[in-house]
Amino acid sequence: MTILERYAAMDYGPAPESRTEADAWLNAHDFSKALFIGGTWQAAASGKTFTVLEPATGETLAEVSEAGPEDVNAAVRAARRALPAWSKTSGYERARILYAIGRAMQRHGRLFAVLESIDNGKPIRESRDIDVPLAVRHFIHHAGWAQTLEKAYPGHQPVGVCGQIIPWNFPLLMLAWKIAPALAAGCTVVLKPAEFTPLTSILFAEICARAGVPKGVVNIVQGGGETGAAIVEHPDIDKIAFTGSSEVGKIIRRATAGTGKKLSLELGGKSAFMVFEDADLDSAVEGLVDGIWFNQGQVCCAGSRLLVQESVAERMLAKVKARMGHLRLGDPLDKNTDIGPLIAPVQLERVKSMVAEGARQGAECWQPASDLPQTGYYHLPTLATSVAPSNILAQEEVFGPVLAAMTFRTQEEGVALANNTRYGLAASVWSENISRALHVAPQLKAGVVWINGTNIFDASSGFGGYRESGFGREGGHEGLYEYLKRPAGKAVYKPAPRPEPQPDTGSNTPLIDRTPKLFIGGKQVRPDGNYALPVTDPKGRIMGEVGAGNRKDIRDAVSTARASKWHQATAYNRAQVLYFLAENLAVRAAEFTGRIASLTGIRPKEAAAEVDLSIERIFAAASLADKYEGRVHQPPARVVTLALNEPVGVLGIVSPDDAPLLALVTMMAPALAMGNPVVAVPSARFPLVATDLYQVIETSDLPAGSVNIVTGDSVELAAVLAKHDDVDALWCVGETQLCATVERESAANLKRVWTSGGLAPDWAGDAALLDDFFRRAVEIKNVWVPYGD
């Protein structure tokens, strides 16, 4: 035998990790009392339990108590009781506790890793080297935020009691992503792990008790979807943080509508893994192993769509197949295992049926000739080629080791293909040309973009999606905002009274008759329905008539906003245009003052103050347009993360009756400053202020489509905007009922919605309002840029 032959014949021997300590831990526990409520271990009030199976063997690991509504109630009560003291605990003290949790997790790192691999089936290399260290890092990083909270987030308070629901794919890491920022912010939590994977959360709760977490600050209730629903629906919870499927995310969006609960959703993905012809193909293939076969592909940001440039596609796919043939399926506790079992039979069946359906729809599905282990829920790594963009494997999240490959010719085509999904969680870009990669990254509709890398995470850098991948960020500076609040207002919002219109004596008729229209695509247009609505002063005298916009007018406004190139204008350009808008409004300040005073009945002095402040706000927004920039993070690796502030997209604004000019510009100016085209529905009672404003807009160099104004019944138009699938974000100030409707109707495309929740913001007095709208006007994209050889 030659040395070469001997080398080729060599195979890996087994390298098993011991499970002795984990088994001892399992044997020492009575899991029928696994609810951690108010610092004590409890059985479910109903006495119910559920069975936890080991994915690699199908054998029973534990019978775990299943929390029902009564137990959820008890947990919420405990969290509520603990809140006042915990939220007042000094940042330093909270930091010490978070640090103690992190260090204790580190000390028990191997036990956590082995338990996680037994419970979830993920290879020990991953749980040991990725899940556990990242979870530890999250606590230690957030210890720092706890201490610097007041300085870093002035004027903010903890949001309160948080209900947190996590999935089974990263049980410990998702727990850390939820609990660490909540505790840092001064919130208390009720967390529900997934039914498939409760074990590491139980070990974590034991650590909390030892690390000095006060009783009731962390409560962990085990159970399934019904337990999750009981948390979502609980009236005494202030915030829901959810990670899981987009389907359940939408259910939760609807269930929390109108409740005032703050909501963050980390949902599914269909992330693109783009390989350009100038990529280092061997590195890209290794990246792909981490991209789609990491955790058996049960990863929300898995690079499940391989988009490869046509000129290198054949070579790339040949390399991928060769590499797939060397992936080792087997015991998750073997240190040489690349691919473990899927979580459960139901998941295995789901993956198999999706592969079969993909093949039926024309994809060619290839698998290496590897042996499947005798027991467990294993699925071979699968490569699907000849995949049409509409194929189920290109569109739906498989959540398994299945890669759908497609090709593109030009960069433009590649970007279009990458964005051809309703999701927007992550993307990878492979190219040795850094200029190209940095040019492509901002064009991708995804919350995270890895350049020449994939599936890299760090507590310093926010993680979260665009589009139906959910909203909110976990980790980083931005992640803390999910656990903080600033009240939207103190007073309850009431629409301005509508007096009976008086008979028109003609006393207000202008010399030449005026027809205020809608403002769509840079033009004054008649409303589609050709109806007009009277606008009166407080005494009921007719001051004019405005168009009654309808669904079609909103549709036209949204499509012209979508086509506008405003987001491509440079920040400097946007600043200049806004300054010019302020300048032109100042020229007509007297006219606006008169209009506001006569329409609303306030004194001319007050009206003048509203106009002055409106001009100042536009000026302030202009000044920030080229300064409200992102951050640069330095995770502990040879990589920098550019946290870029990108416009959220087409933005709907439903403006209130109070301070009709000031409210509209306080929302519109930051939206425009950050590059968002706007569809505004102005005050229904005083719309003439907005129809006057479009005349100022017309002379201020705002490009067609960047601002659209549709007057009419704002309640009706708000619902249309909320339902519209091409609106990316919606801000609505109005009565409780309207805010609830808007939140509920927004669920279909999971647009980013902010409502005043039935309250009236203090438009003149609250100096931080503009900052809030700036924050809502951007979506943060984290672009990971590696460096070094």
The residue among 165 and 648 lying less far from ligand NDP, judged by its C-beta, is 165
Q: Which stretch binds ligand NDP (CB under 6 A): 153-161, 187-195, 477-485, 700-708?
A: 187-195
271 binds ligand NDP, rule: CB under 6 A: no
CB 269 to ligand NDP: min, Å: 6
Would you call 706 exposed, middle or buried from its count of C-beta atoms within 10 A (0-12, 13-18, 19+)? buried
**DSSP 8-state symbol, 389:** T
Q: Are 441 and 433 in contact (CB under 8 A)?
A: no
The piece of 159-167, 306-314, 613-621, 679-687 that touches ligand NDP (CB under 6 A) is: 159-167
Q: How far is the CB of 61 from ligand NDP (least distance, A)?
A: 15
Q: Is 167 in the site for ligand NDP (CB under 6 A)?
A: yes
Binding ligand NDP (rule: CB under 6 A), the pick from 49, 127, 147, 169 is 169
- Count Cα atoms within 13 angstroms, Cβ side, for 663: 28
Nearest to 406 by CA among 444, 342, 358: 358
Closer of 266 and 545 to ligand NDP (Cβ):
266
In whole angstroms, give the CA distance from residue 298 to residue 455.
12
d(CA 723, CA 725): 6
Q: 328 vs 350, which CB is nearer to ligand NDP?
A: 350
- Minimum distance, C-beta of residue 195 to ligand NDP, in the bound complex (Å): 3
Q: Which of residues 243-262 bind ligand NDP (CB under 6 A)?
A: 243-245, 248, 251-252
Catalytic residue (choose from 66, 266, 478, 745): 266
CA-based R_g, the chain, Å: 28
- Nearer residue to ligand NDP within complex by CB, 195 or 692: 195
> 106: helix, coil or strand?
helix
What CA–CA distance (Å, rounded) separates 699 from 692?
12
* 396 vs 545, beta carbon nearer ligand NDP: 396
- Rounded-to-integer distance, Cα 250 and Cα 266, Å: 11
Pick one of 43, 267, 355, 441: the residue that binds ligand NDP (CB under 6 A).
267
Cα angle: 752, vertex 755, 757; to 5 degrees? 140
Q: Which is nearer to ligand NDP, 455 or 691 (CB)?
A: 455
Q: For the CB of residue 238, give the shortest distance to ligand NDP in the complex, in Å.
A: 17
User: What does DSSP assign to residue 130?
Assistant: I
Per-residue b/e over 215-254, b at no fewer than 16 CB within 10 Å? ebbbbbbbbeeebbbbbbbbeebbbbbbbbebebbbbbbe
The answer to whether residue 399 forms part of the interface with ligand NDP (CB under 6 A) is yes
Among 229, 393, 719, 739, binds ligand NDP (CB under 6 A): 229
Nearer to ligand NDP, 236 or 314 (CB): 236
Q: Which helix (H) or strand (E) holds 232?
A: helix 225-233
Nearest to 134 by CA among 483, 638, 474, 482: 474
CA dihedral 695, 696, 697, 699 (to 10 degrees): 90
Strand-pair partners of 730: 652, 753
Tell me: does residue 517 bind ligand NDP (CB under 6 A): no
CB of 196 to ligand NDP, least distance (A): 6
Whole-number minimum distance, CB 384 to ligand NDP, in Å? 17
545-564 positions binding ligand NDP, by CB under 6 A = none
3-state secondary structure of 750: coil
* Greatest extent of the chain over all pairs of C-alpha atoms, in Å: 110
Q: Is 232 in the site for ligand NDP (CB under 6 A)?
A: yes
Q: How far apart are CA 511 and CA 759, in angstroms?
A: 40
**CB of 520: closest distance to ligand NDP in angstroms?**
38
Ramachandran class of 251: left when φ > 0, alpha when ψ lies in -120 to 50, beta otherwise: alpha
Q: Which is nearer to ligand NDP, 316 or 348 (CB)?
A: 348
Q: Which is nearer to ligand NDP, 175 or 405 (CB)?
A: 175
Least distance (Å) between residue 372 CB and ligand NDP: 20
Stretch that binds ligand NDP, among 181-189, 238-246, 707-715, 775-783 (CB under 6 A): 238-246
- Per CB under 6 A, which region of 119-127, 131-139, 239-247, 651-659 contacts ligand NDP? 239-247
Pairing of β 532-536 and β 542-547: antiparallel
- Count residues binding ligand NDP (CB under 6 A): 26
Contact 534, 501 (CB under 8 A): yes
- Minimum CB distance to ligand NDP smaller for 299 or for 578: 299
Beta strands 272-275 and 305-309, pairing class:
parallel
The nearest distance, CB 264 to ligand NDP, in angstroms, is: 13
Residue 251 vs 748, nearer CB to ligand NDP: 251
Shortest Cβ distance from residue 49 to ligand NDP (Å)? 14
Structure tokens at 676: 């968002």
Indicate the SS3 state at residue 504. coil
Nearest residue to ligand NDP by CB is 228
CB of 465 to ligand NDP, least distance (A): 9
| 338-367 binders of ligand NDP (CB under 6 A) | 347, 350
Binding residue (CB under 6 A) for ligand NDP from 109, 225, 521, 529: 225
165 sits near ligand NDP (criterion: CB under 6 A): yes
Both tokens of 288, joined, read 């792909």
Binding mask of the shown chain, residues 192 to 211, with x at each position contacting ligand NDP by CB under 6 A: x-xx----------------
- CB of 175 closer than 8 Å to CB of 201: yes
Q: Establish if 228 lies at the interface with ligand NDP (CB under 6 A).
A: yes
- Classify 383 as helix, strand or coil: strand
Site of tokens 């005032």: 260
Least separation, in Å, of the C-beta of 191 and ligand NDP? 10
Amino acid at position 120, single letter: N
Q: Which among 37-45, 136-144, 224-232, 780-788 is the span making contact with ligand NDP, rule CB under 6 A?
A: 224-232
Identity of the residue, 446 or 671, whose beta carbon is nearer to ligand NDP in the bound complex = 446
- Angle (nearest 5°) at CA 93 between 88 and 97: 115
Tell me how far CA of residue 79 lies from CA of 84, 164, 214, 224, 236, in angstroms.
10, 12, 10, 20, 10
Q: How many residues does the chain have?
A: 789
User: What's the min distance (Å) between Cβ of 247 and ligand NDP?
Assistant: 7
**x/- string (CB under 6 A) for ligand NDP, residues 280-319?**
--------------------x-------------------
Burial (CB count within 10 angstroms: exposed 0-12, middle 13-18, buried 19+), residue 9: exposed
Instruction: Write phi, then psi, for 382 (nearest 5 degrees).
Output: -130, 135
Q: Which of 268, 527, 705, 712 binds ligand NDP (CB under 6 A)?
A: 268
Does residue 50 contact residue 225 with C-beta atoms inside 8 Å? Answer: no
**Identity of residue 185:** A
Q: Are 422 and 468 in contact (CB under 8 A)?
A: yes
Other C-beta atoms lying within 10 Å of the C-beta of residue 49: 18
Q: Does 629 participate in catalysis according to the annotation?
A: no
Pairing of strands 778-786, 448-451: parallel
CB-nearer residue toward ligand NDP: 447 or 670: 447
Catalytically active residues, by annotation: 266
Residues lying near ligand NDP in the complex (CB under 6 A): 165-169, 192, 194-195, 224-225, 228-229, 232, 243-245, 248, 251-252, 267-268, 300, 347, 350, 397, 399
